[in-house]
Structure 1
Amino acid sequence: MAKLFKTIDLNVKHKSKQCRGRSATTLIYFVIIGMASIASESFAVSKDIEFNSDILDLKDRGNIDLSSFSRAGYITPGKYELIININNNELSGTYRVDYIVPKDDPKASEPCISPILVKQFALRPEWLKKVNLER
Structure 2
Amino acid sequence: MRVTAISIPVRDQAKALAFYTEILGFIKKLDIPVNETDRWLTVVSPEDQDGVQLVLEPAPLHFEPSRVFQDALTEAGFPYTQFDVDDVQAEYDRLLALGVSFSVKPTEMGTVKIAVFDDTCGNYIQLIEYL
TM-score (norm 2): 0.27
Indicate the structure (1 or 2) with the bigger Cα radius of gyration: 1
TM-score (norm 1): 0.26
Task: Flag the structure with higher strand content.
Answer: 2
